[in-house]
Chain A
Amino acid sequence: MEIIIDIDDPAPLFSQLMVQIKKAVLCDRICAGDALPSIRQLANDLDLNNKTVAKAYRLLERDSVIQTRGYRGTFVHPNAKANSTIDLNATVLAKLSETIEAFRDKGVTDSEIRIAFGTVMNNR
């Protein structure tokens, strides 16, 4: 199973990597429990910085598409297929837009929303 990234593509490299791995899961080219290459191996093969691959892996782990099992390596998550269909970014954006619209309807200004958002995020 091969993945292809395009360095001239406007999409960020980590994002291309995430999309490729999710596509591989959805097309059953990699299945739950399958081992994935180490960060260093993938970075060397694609001639990318280790940090780029590490970021893609971290976000895929956050989305429960992959899971890291300590020194044993990285594997495809048991629920990877279901989780690959959800675009967390889009979900977060939709939810936020909905909330912001509701605040505006109630007369809250944008700067008040920004301050409130910052306060909530900082208090987490």
Chain B
Amino acid sequence: MPDLILIIFYGVLISQIFLISYYYPNKIYQRMRYVTETYPPSIYPKLYPGLSGAGADDVARKKPNAYRYVNMAILIAGLFLLFNLMRSGFYPSGEGEETFVFLFALVQVAPLIYMEYSEFKQFKLMRKANLESKRVADLQPRHFFDFISPRVFSMAAVLLVAVFAFILHINDYDLTWGSDALISIMTIIGVHIYFAILVMWLVFGKKINPHIANKDRRIHMTVVVKIMVYTSIGMSIFIITNDVLQQYNMDYLQPFLMSIYFQILIIIGIGTMLRSTPIENMDFDVYKESV
């Protein structure tokens, strides 16, 4: 039995390292390469604000390399860590190894977070450089349930209530100031308020990308709303499972659960984004100078 736990622990860690630092980064890199090669700044200048003149195409083509190199470095570091863990005869005993898994996962997703930040900066530049006098809008109203099925949303809501009930139950309904239950519930509420604000801002707020075609904008909204709702479901399941493991003194399985949780989050987030928005179907003509 202990050997099985060890095999599961290392198997899940190897899966985490490859999935978050190799498989998805490689897919994203291929996507970026495709965009920079198929839609270069010389023909699609609106896509690359601040990048113009001779050599702009080459600069754009080289940009995705940094993302690839950082991920490769994290992959090598992960494999090195794993190798050292195996060599030292490390065995998960439920004494906080999940923190190690969590911290390493944070390092793994750091390039993704930086990429998102860069994307927002690029959209800001796009809005600044946008001198187009014509503005286009869709005459179709948008509602939250255009982007997610009410059934899936209800499931997320029910699970959220179940998590609150579960937390209260295992903490003997102690909601005094500073209690574990109160902190957990407030944290979960905070995360969901953040999700709600993000969705409201995206669906009902101003256009982040001033050139995006309405069809692509709707697809993007659908993807983000789905990711948020599925993440909420995943989070609820994770919290309940994690607390059950603690209740039954199976803490040694927590690093395994933490790793699986992160991998599922990445599959939900990045996987859904890559699957739902195939680059070939996007309208890039809006980034041409003449449009």
List chain A positions with a Cβ less than 8 A from chain B.
1-9, 21, 24, 29-30, 35-38, 40-42, 44-48, 73
Contact = CB atoms under 8 A, between A and B. Distances in A.
6 contacts: A4-B135, A5-B134, A24-B139, A37-B139, A45-B138, A73-B141
Ordered nearest first, which 4 A-B pairs have the shortest CB separation?
A45-B137, A8-B133, A1-B139, A37-B141
A37 B137 contact: yes
Interface of B: 133-142, 204-207, 214
Nearest to A73: B141
Interface residues of A, dominant DSSP: mixed
Given A1-B139, A37-B140, A41-B204, 8 more contacts: A1-B140, A3-B139, A4-B135, A8-B133, A37-B138, A41-B142, A45-B207, A47-B206
A119 B115 CA distance: 66
A80 B207 CA distance: 30
Given A44-B204, A44-B205, A44-B207, A6 B133 contact: yes
Contacts of B136: 2-4, 45-46
A40 B214 contact: no
Nearest to B217: A45
A88 B214 CA distance: 32
Contacts of A3: 136-137, 139
A38 B134 contact: no
Contacts of A24: 139
A1 B136 CA distance: 10
A6 B134 CA distance: 4
Contact of A30 (B139, B204, B205): B139
A2 B138 contact: yes
B105 to A, nearest CB: 36
A23 to B, nearest CB: 11
Q: Which of B136, B141, B142, B214 has the most CB of A within 10 A?
A: B141
A2 to B, nearest CB: 5
A40 B137 CA distance: 12
A53 to B, nearest CB: 10
Nearest to A38: B141
B219 to A, nearest CB: 16
Given A44-B204, A44-B207, A36 B139 contact: yes
Contacts of B133: 6-9
A1 B134 CA distance: 16
A4 B133 CA distance: 10
Nearest to A37: B141
Q: Which of B135, B204, B206 has the most CB of A within 10 A?
A: B135
A48 B141 CA distance: 17
Contacts of B141: 35-38, 41, 73
Q: Which of A5, A35, A40, A41 has the most CB of B within 10 A?
A: A41
Given A37-B139, A37-B142, A38-B141, A4 B134 contact: yes
B254 to A, nearest CB: 44
A123 B137 CA distance: 42
